[in-house]
Structure 1
Amino acid sequence: MDIVNEVLEKSAEEEKKYKPTKVNKHLELEYDLGTLLAIDENELNNDKLKSNLDTYLHSLARDNTQLLINKIWELPIHIIDDVTMVTLPKSKYLLPRSLPVPPPRQPSKWEKFAKEKGIVKKKKDKLKWDDELKKWIPLYGYKRAEAEREKNWIMEVPDNADPYEDQFTKKPKKKIYIFFQTFSTTLGAAVTVAKTSTASLGKFQKSLPKEKESKNVKPFLPESTKRKRPIPKTKDEIKNNLKLVDNILNKKPKLNVEQAVEKEVHALNREEASKQKPKKREGRKVKKGAKGGKYRGPKAKGSSEFNNKKNSRKPETGKPKKRVGGKVKGGKKRR
């Protein structure tokens, strides 16, 4: 009897955790299953609102959602690919939208081609069957590493190793050693880059106390010597030497055809010009005894006429006398 009582008490405690699916209301709710809407027109309990607001609203929301789900299960059900689906009816209320419903996306060229040819995209498998372990193993993740440990339960002891040494404990130690080795090399490379990342390429960079000298810094510094070219291979060296010998022995002057033709044409033109008789050039003749005009141009500074004109005084009375132009001497012929 004690066992029966314990079972009944446990079942009663579990039932308290899960509330019943049936809910009683004075007024039936108004449903709009198209928009999954339920309107409760029942009056609220003011005493419970004042005393325990959160618990009362929580229980009220739970009961209303339970009634809405019960109503959805009354609709026709379809099972597609082991999934239960329900077709909702048309909605009664038109909910407002800020933007219109977007049109369906047009398929791309590849999607049209795949549909015509019947090409279906397959998802990558996450599990793989292992014949040794006789079970499905994930392709990645921690369970894959566990499966490899189960498979590699035997390890070969090398000839130069201690036969009583545990190889399983030695393997992770080797991995840790490789990790720290790579970490130290990358850290050293970072130090060299930081050392030469100043404006002077690390020339005036002061080192910290007890700081190790950074390796491979000289190639980055301006004082570093230029790297020597690698030694050429024997085949390349032989080819270069043969080319050099051919250029020395078979040396021919380079002929510029256009320049040679231009020189020849220029020489012929000079010969033809020398054969022709030179023509006499006749200058303009000036008539002798020509009278000068009324207007004469300004005299140059420093001439006798300019100085006399500058030092001459105006006549005291009467108008200034006009200067009559005299005879001009015959000029020389221009050549």
Structure 2
Amino acid sequence: MDVDLEAVLEAKKAQYKSIEVRKDVELQYDVGNLLATDLNPLDHHAMKSRRDEYLKGLARDNTQLLINKIWQLPVEKADGMILVELPTPSTVLPREKPIPKPKGLTAWETFAKAKGIKNRKRSRMVFDESGQEWKPRWGYKRVDDPKDKWMIEIPDRADPYEDYFEKQAEEKKEKIAKNEYKRLKNISRTQKGGRLKAPLPPPLTKDMSKYQLTHALGKAKEATASIGKFTKSLPDEPVPKRAKKTQVGPVAGDMAAERKKNLEILSSVTKRKEVVDAEKAANRHMAQEQRRCHVVSVGH
């Protein structure tokens, strides 16, 4: 069986377009932004007769020209890949949002800067002498985890009947609350004008009332990115009372529904029946009769 190789090659070539594209007006390139601007006028006849095919071919040709421009840049190979370093972009693109302002220093950063204290990065893993193994300095399964201590040494001149496990838990809660308060203070310090939109809760003390604790807890829960939406509630935490929002109907809407609502209000006013408490009326009448009889007897 004879095979015409030239015909097969021509058929294969017909499936792929050439990488050489000719344009009457050369494109304007900004290779740094991978941008190519075509200033050639559109073919209005082709736009009307075969719009999609014409636009697809136009996009293909312009993309091919941009790729040809990229291949003219110096290339290098690394890890079996061909890389090219793009030049500096020439087109200035507008930002969606303004440039973020630098964050202000926290209280500790201000103090450390004034005293010349430099932060030293500590290693995350610490060797635990009791377990003879390396453990994280903080986090899950950290060293000196209170959960691993089944016995606590009672200090001298201390109450031996006090629950020191519960005392440690309370101290941990107070520490967390203080850290949260400090975090809010840092946010307040770095905000515009040095103030937050909402007042900060007072520092936690043992003499605080139930209302003050509830208020501080609510403010701490709302001081998150989700404004407390995903903050888990504590066990037996009271549900804060929120004012009911009055639902106001639209000013312009369904006239038939508005007419029906007004008629219902009018009918309820006109058909309202007087509610009489018979027992209360009888007692009042008897009291008046007794008072009148008493006055008459005194007069005689």
TM-score (norm. length: structure 2)? 0.32
More helix, by proportion: 2
Larger radius of gyration: 1
TM-score, with length taken from structure 1: 0.29
